[in-house]
Amino acid sequence: MLTRPSPGSIRLARLRALASGRWARIGFAAMCVGALIGYFAFPTYPTYDSFYALLWGRDLLHLHLPDFRVYRGPTEHPLAIAFGMICSIVGQGGARLMVLGSIASFVAAVTGMYRLGRLCFGPVTGLVAALLLLSRFFIENLAAQGYLDISYVALIVWAVVLEVERPRRGAPVFLALAAAGLLRPDAWVLSGAYWLWCSWSARADRGAHPTRVTLARSLRYLALAAIAPLVWVALDAIVTGNPLYSLTATAKAASELERTQGFTSVVGSLWSYGVRIDKLPVLLGGLVGMPLAVWMAPRRVLVPLAAFLLLVGVYLAEGAVGASVVDRYLVGAATMLLLFCAVTVGGWAMLERGSRLRRVWIVGAFALVLYGGISAANTLSLSGLRTTLAEHEDFHEGLASALQSPAVRAELRRCPTVSLPDNKLIPDARWILDTAGQEDIVARSQARADADAGEPELAHRLAAGSVAVYPLGSAIFVDAIVDPGDSPQDQLPPKGFRPIYAGRFFAVYGNC
């Protein structure tokens, strides 16, 4: 007689019987709870670009045209400005709401990575892809500081997911790419490539001579692909009178801040920035996973592979023509690479059970995971991450305390001009003081540069009567005196200024 093995615990059997979709929903709920806990545990504030999106959105809410011609101003992002307008409805709490939007985008990106991995290579690979993105502390740190790049990445990931679910899906993919293109122009290339892909399919289905219906659909898709660049150009034209203002101003700022590199250096930054974002074990796993993915699922890998290659190509092209070369601009490609590393770690689940290749693959995947764990243990500093987030909060709160102190408020009533060392703290100060214009909050580095160029008006204005804010301690190196054009002279109170406030991170002087 044969003896049936014991079924084990009934509770364990019930857990095993749950469908992978149910587990995915449970994981999503847990991730949302964790994100909310982190949001309230580390009350950080937006970074430079996001604060300007809030300020420009507040201008629109008050029916004022935003002023993009600010000293060392960031590139305007139409969708971020629209979200900033919504956030500014709640007043000072809008800054925290902007951060919440970035954290929600990170959750959406992780969810999209799971969905993409599951569609292309199965639930095991999807889970690994989600865990890899969830453990990229570089990207999580960007989300915690309200960077716009996280929302851009989430939209790109979900555009790829929608296309993988239903090839040549059309409008939903174009709309997701259009939204991404209103945050970063890189997505314009993806929209154009997708339009060519859909148009080529329509022509191939009906021979060399497309029908009137096919032509109409191609034109409709072209209109969808053109949404982002047309909106961006129209916004520049309305606000500045120059439809190409974003392009020219960004190139000028990149040159002034010495963020441009030669083509060889841009190519080299692919590796250095890739290691910084994904870490070396994951980067190596992604490079190994590409040919494995093409070998195991050549059709399903086409869309994510094409998206990765296009994002890398756009990064190289932008750097080659003189745009800023910053690690954040590679986050989209680095995120897509995680999918291929997930194939290296979890692709064995697609092989037949008991096969020798499956066993060898599992051993190799375990070795890569072990290498990644050892590398993380030697390099990762959770205390350093906590310190960075805490400092970001402390600096903003310290600046708010300084500018809202009774002594400073009284001084500002006598002379409303506020000077800061450079451009870094200008958007924070404008948001805290709820200043509609930018003329009353200026950078001392700008006054010095103008005086050197024979235009001393701003320097004379500051000397005649102003309130000067000076960072102290670590705030000097984190929030000020960090750009090539900055000078330590901008951190020294001139003669005639008396101290009116002293805190942990900021001191304030006045000569009103």
Q: Which pLDDT tens digit goes with each residue over 103-145?
A: 999 999 999 999 999 999 999 999 999 999 999 999 999 999 9
Whether residue 66 is found in the same domain as residue 214 = yes
Query: pLDDT value at position 488?
Result: 79
Whether residue 32 is found in the same domain as residue 167 = yes
Find, among 451, 456, 400, 447, the residue nearest to 422 by Cα.
447
pLDDT, tens digit (0-9, with 9 covering 90-100), for 438-493? 678 999 988 988 888 899 999 889 988 899 999 988 887 776 666 666 777 788 88
Find, among 488, 503, 486, the residue nearest to 401 by Cα.
503
Beta partners for residue 469, in sequence order: 508
228 lies in some domain: yes
Query: pLDDT value at position 190?
Result: 96
4 lies in some domain: no
Count the neighbouring beta carbons within 10 Å of the beta carbon of residue 40: 9
Whether residue 367 is found in the same domain as residue 389 = no
Whether residue 294 is found in the same domain as residue 416 = no
Per-residue pLDDT at 210 exceeds 60: no
Cα 396 from Cα 51, distance rounded (Å) = 12
Whether residue 412 is found in the same domain as residue 446 = yes
pLDDT, tens digit (0-9, with 9 covering 90-100), for 21-71? 787 888 889 999 999 998 998 888 998 999 999 999 999 998 889 989 888
Cα 476 from Cα 399, distance rounded (Å) = 12
Q: Which has the higher per-residue pLDDT, 41 or 172? A: 172
Query: pLDDT value at position 13?
Result: 53
226 lies in some domain: yes
- Mean pLDDT value of segment 292-305: 93
177 lies in some domain: yes
8 lies in some domain: no
Count the neighbouring beta carbons within 10 Å of the beta carbon of residue 31: 17
Per-residue pLDDT at 360 exceeds 50: yes
The Cα diameter of the chain in Å comes to: 103
Whether residue 416 is found in the same domain as residue 375 = no
Query: pLDDT value at position 4?
Result: 45
Whether residue 340 is found in the same domain as residue 391 = no
11 lies in some domain: no
Would you state the structure tokens that stand for residue 226, as one six-digit string? 């053109």
- pLDDT-based confidence at residue 319 (cuts at 50, 70, 90): confident
- pLDDT-based confidence at residue 213 (cuts at 50, 70, 90): low
Count the neighbouring beta carbons within 10 Å of the beta carbon of residue 468: 22
Number of structural domains (the chain) is: 2
- pLDDT-based confidence at residue 5 (cuts at 50, 70, 90): very low
Per-residue pLDDT at 16 exceeds 90: no
Per-residue pLDDT at 408 exceeds 70: yes
Opening angle at CA 93, ends 85 and 47, nearest 5: 75
What does the chain come to in residues? 512
370 lies in some domain: yes
Domain stops at, among 341, 364, 380: 380
Query: pLDDT value at position 489?
Result: 79
Whether residue 317 is found in the same domain as residue 432 = no
Whether residue 358 is found in the same domain as residue 503 = no
Cα 278 from Cα 337, distance rounded (Å) = 9
- pLDDT-based confidence at residue 201 (cuts at 50, 70, 90): low
209 lies in some domain: yes
Whether residue 197 is found in the same domain as residue 237 = yes
- Mean pLDDT value of segment 84-101: 93
Whether residue 350 is found in the same domain as residue 391 = no
The percent of residues in the chain predicted with pLDDT above 70, rounded, is 89
User: Across all residues in the chain, what is the average pLDDT?
Assistant: 87
Domain stops at, among 363, 380, 397: 380
Whether residue 350 is found in the same domain as residue 428 = no
Report DSSP state, residue 209: S
- Mean pLDDT value of segment 65-91: 91
The percent of residues in the chain predicted with pLDDT above 90, rounded, is 58
pTM of the model: 0.90
- Mean pLDDT value of segment 426-449: 84
Cα 398 from Cα 395, distance rounded (Å) = 5
Domain stops at, among 338, 362, 380: 380
Give how far the C-alpha of residue 218 lies from the chain's centroid of Cα atoms, to the nearest Å. Answer: 32
Provide the residue range defining the domain that includes 186: 25-380
Q: Please, is 354 exposed, middle or buried when counting C-beta atoms within 10 Å of its C-beta (0-12, 13-18, 19+)?
A: exposed
